[in-house]
Amino acid sequence: MSNRFDAYDADRPLMLRCACGQDHAPGEHDAAAASAQELSHSFMEASLVKALFPVDSVRRSFLRAVGANTARAAIASVFPMGALQAMAQDRGPLEKKDLKIGFIAITCASPLIMADPLGFYKKEGLHVQLNKTAGWALIRDKMINKEHDASHFLSPMPLAMTMGLGSNQVNMNVASIQNTNGQAITLHVKHKNNRDPKNWKGFKFAIPFEYSMHNFLLRYYLAENGLNPDTDVQLRVVPPPEMVANLRAGNIDGFLGPDPFNQRAVYDEVGFIHILSKDIWDGHPCCAFGVSDEFIQKNPNTFAALYRAVLGASFMASQPKDRDLIAKVIAPTQYLNQPEAVLQQVLTGKFADGLGNIKNVPDRANFDPVPWQSMAVWMLTQMKRWGYVKGDVNYRQIAEKVFLLTEAKKQMSLAGFKPPEGAYKKFKVMGKEFDPAKPEDYVKSFAINKL
Amino acid sequence: MKSLNLKAGLVSLLIFLAFLGIWYTATLPSPGTPVASTAGLSAEQIEYQKMMGKDPGSTKTTGFPTLGQMGAAIWKQVSNPLYDNGPNDKGILIQLGHSLARVGLGFLLACAVAVPLGFVIGMSPLLRRAFDPFIQVLKPISPLAWMPLALYTIKDSSISGIFVIFICSVWPMLINTAFGVSAVKREWLNVASTLEVSPLRKAFLVILPAAAPTIFTGMRISMGIAWLVIVAAEMLVGGTGIGYFVWNEWNNLSLTNVIFAILVIGIVGMLLDLSFAQLQKMVTYVE
């Protein structure tokens, strides 16, 4: 059977009417078609091409000029076609059932991890092996090497990888945000009486990775307090577990790191929680769940199933009532390998701050999976601000390509959750409003930067 | 001789007991710290103590372990060495098995390359000089420096681990083989020439037996290095193995288990070395 909606045929007009010539929906004949799935794929592609080239003569001359394959590749590089197609056909047969997912042993990965013991993956027919990975650079490398099918990421990492910063250029996607908030600035106990950041000149801080919200938030916080993070303090990349050990040794003065290590520093009586990252930007994203473009294209149904599992876990984690259970199931050696008491304090938000007080902050760690593209734009502004990217940045294009918001919304509604409205949610960081429509003005508005 | 052995054994035991004694006294709770008691504390202070893991009745396992905690940890690991709770939590013997398999594979690869190449280099002064600068430059490179390069090019973490063992253990064997081969007594070679032995026979029947003790010395050094390297490589790559075990327990800041792993690494390393010493003895002959 010939393809009725071949969007890449330069010799024929692109008809989105039914090919039988009648003016009814193209799906009418699907029951008779040899492969209904193929048909719906090409229909979706055709609609997309139609949207890109509303004037058919332009489409045809474009195709004649560059050839069908180039055109297909060019369009696929901008739109995750596989993902769109996966969305179109709700639940198809799984292309791949055994998956390897990488994670770093921190509470940010809670939804990804708890989905295993609580059976979210199994429910979707997936056999997932969760691989504890030794560091962020290795997470990056194992995704590039395709040792892992999907991974826990720091949310700026897929942006950096897609732009080819700090690695080969590989198209990565943020399918959902793993967690919001959940970080803190922890200082050594000897700084108990030195809480004003203006006096922190010469301090040594640890961050887990350069392309991390930790780095951007700490830099933001220091700069807002008049310190230049590149010249007034030292920022070192240190894996989270070693942050506590380095703090104990007095090798660093503090860190902006992931939990449970902030609470662990308190538990081990070497540090205290100066502020929660929530106090810098309430609702900031931190880690993400991501896959490569290639994985989505090859395994659209598996991707959709995986997506549903992770979204389900995220929604469960976002409700305070189950936090005790979550702390219990992710504490064993196989997952986080941490004392349950520490995890409980992190997740429930009722915690000892290391200064003798019990704080009660229920949203200390939260789990809101929506990959707002405005958040991606903010990360890009900070990369620009601190010199990680030079020259012009096409903020919107990169954000929309990497943060799969449309897919997230679609999967949410399929899974029975209410998807949010809009794409560019506005928010405030340390009281200053961020307008995602004017990223360049935002970058230039800071007194301390590296432009 | 026998009495000397006995005396040495006794002194060893004394040193060990002294070491345990120091450990015991160093980890005694200092008299200044009050025993966790709830007397005179407000409800909030009690809750705070609980959050800090100082719940009366529960033991907090952070900081340097006492001898008792250490013994308990060792017993716990040794009594159940083959459990398997999924990809990130396996018994100590399974972890050791993974590490030994990697070391074995990398080491065999290194043997397969180093011994023949060392032979060729040892027989030809020209090649020896030509290879020398490369060997000198590559020999001192740390395994951790090779790792990123291996991961980047090989694109597979377990093969990268094996490659790193290979690249680090190949040099001592190569150098020792070359040295052993080039140091074969001239008289023996002359005898071989006089008898018009074919080059292949000469290599296998004259040079190889003569150089064998030196070659095995090289292998012994290489095995030591390979065992040294595996822990570092597995800490970096994660997944399985004794190095991963150390890293995972470090993640948990559990010094007790880290010390246990160090002990195991040391003992296994010693056993490997002893077995190579035995092999070396078997090929050594007295003139």
pLDDT in tens, B222-278: 999 999 888 888 888 777 888 888 888 887 778 888 899 999 999 999 999 999 888
Beta-bridge partner residues of A234: A204
Where does residue A368 rank: exposed (0-12), middle (13-18), buried (19+ CB within 10 A)? buried
Return the amino acid letter for A144.
Answer: I
How far apart are the CA of A75 and the nearest CA of chain B, in angstroms?
Answer: 29
pLDDT by 10-residue block (mean), chain A, 451 residues: 58 54 47 47 64 68 70 64 54 82 89 87 87 86 87 89 83 86 90 88 90 92 90 88 86 90 89 91 90 85 85 85 86 85 88 87 86 87 89 84 83 78 81 86 86 76
Long-range contacts of A430-438 (CB under 8 A, 24+ apart): A430/A220, A430/A221, A430/A224, A430/A280, A430/A281, A434/A374, A434/A378, A434/A381, A436/A373, A436/A374, A436/A377, A436/A378, A436/A395
Q: Which of B156, B238, B251 shows the shortest C-beta gap to A138? A: B238
> Which residues in chain A are contacts of B51 at CB distance < 8 A?
267, 341, 345, 351-352, 358
Pick B69 or B222 by higher pLDDT.
B222
Q: Do B51 and A352 touch (CB under 8 A)?
A: yes
> Which residues in chain B are contacts of A352 at CB distance < 8 A?
48, 51-52
Nearest C-alpha in A relative to B90: A334
CA distance A416 to A259: 30
Return the amino acid letter for B211.
Answer: A
> Which residues in chain B are contacts of A357 at CB distance < 8 A?
48
Nearest C-alpha in B relative to A267: B52
CA distance A417 to A392: 38
Judge whether B236 is closer than 8 Å to chain A, CB to CB.
Answer: yes
How far apart are the CA of B53 and the nearest CA of chain A, in angstroms?
Answer: 7
User: What tokens were used for B256?
Assistant: 């007790």
Q: Which of residues 101-130 of B touch A (CB under 8 A)?
A: none
Judge whether B261 is closer than 8 Å to chain A, CB to CB.
Answer: no
Q: Which of A130, A332, A351 shows the shortest C-beta gap to B87? A: A130
Taking the mean position of all CA atoms in its chain, how far away is CA A59? 35
Judge whether B73 is closer than 8 Å to chain A, CB to CB.
Answer: no
Q: Is the pLDDT of residue B1 over 80?
A: no
pLDDT, position B248: 84
CA distance A27 to A39: 8
How far apart are the CA of B142 and the nearest CA of chain A, in angstroms?
Answer: 19
Q: Which of B63, B88, B249 shows the shortest C-beta gap to A132? A: B88
Judge whether A244 is closer than 8 Å to chain B, CB to CB.
Answer: yes
CA distance B160 to B169: 14
CA distance A179 to A159: 17
SS3 A54: coil
Q: Distances from the Cα of B104 to the Cαs of A101, B143, B159, B163, in angstroms? A: 28, 16, 13, 12
pLDDT, position B54: 72
Neighbours of A132 (CB within 10 A): 24
pLDDT, position A31: 41
Q: Which of A147, A245, A345 shows the shortest C-beta gap to B51? A: A345
Q: Which candidate, A240, A231, A142, A130, places its Cα nearest to that of A186?
A: A240
Q: Is the pLDDT of residue B136 over 60?
A: yes
pLDDT, position B105: 92
> Which residues in chain A are contacts of B235 at CB distance < 8 A?
134
pLDDT, position B63: 65
How far apart are the CA of A147 and the nearest CA of chain B, in angstroms?
Answer: 7
Q: Which candidate, A380, A450, A375, places its Cα nearest to that of A162?
A: A380
Judge whether A117 is closer than 8 Å to chain B, CB to CB.
Answer: no
Q: Distances from the Cα of B140 to the Cαs of A38, B137, B174, in angstroms? A: 58, 7, 14
pLDDT, position B236: 81
Q: Is the pLDDT of residue B52 over 50?
A: yes
pLDDT, position A255: 92
Burial A295-330 (b: 16+ CB within 10 A, else e): bbbebbbbbbbbbbbbbbbbbbbbeeeebeebbebb
> Which residues in chain A are contacts of B87 at CB distance < 8 A?
129-132, 334
Pick B46 or A49 by higher pLDDT.
B46
Task: With cut-offs at 50, 70 and 90, classify the pLDDT of residue B77.
Answer: confident
> Which residues in chain B are contacts of A341 at CB distance < 8 A?
50-51, 53
Neighbours of A416 (CB within 10 A): 10
CA distance A451 to B237: 36
Q: Is the pLDDT of residue B60 over 70?
A: no
Q: Do B239 and A129 touch (CB under 8 A)?
A: no
pLDDT, position B170: 92
Q: Which of B50, B156, B253 shows the shortest C-beta gap to A268? A: B253
Q: Are A329 and A122 in contact (CB under 8 A)?
A: no
Judge whether A352 is closer than 8 Å to chain B, CB to CB.
Answer: yes
Q: Do A241 and B152 touch (CB under 8 A)?
A: no
Contacts across the A-B interface (CB distance below 8 Å) = 92
Q: Are A95 and A85 in contact (CB under 8 A)?
A: no
CA distance B52 to A322: 22
Judge whether B62 is closer than 8 Å to chain A, CB to CB.
Answer: yes
pLDDT, position A446: 87
Q: What sign results for the dihedral spanned by CA atoms A198, A200, A201, A206?
A: negative
pLDDT, position B43: 75
CA distance B255 to B246: 9
Q: Do A134 and B253 touch (CB under 8 A)?
A: no
User: What is the average pLDDT across B36-59?
Assistant: 68
User: Phi and psi dihedrals of B56, rounded to 5?
Assistant: -60, 130
Q: Do B48 and A356 touch (CB under 8 A)?
A: yes
How far apart are the CA of A386 and the nearest CA of chain B, in angstroms?
Answer: 26
pLDDT, position B14: 94
Residues written for chain B = 287
Nearest C-alpha in B relative to A168: B152
Return the amino acid letter for A204.
Answer: K
Preceding peptide of B34 cis, ω within 30°: no
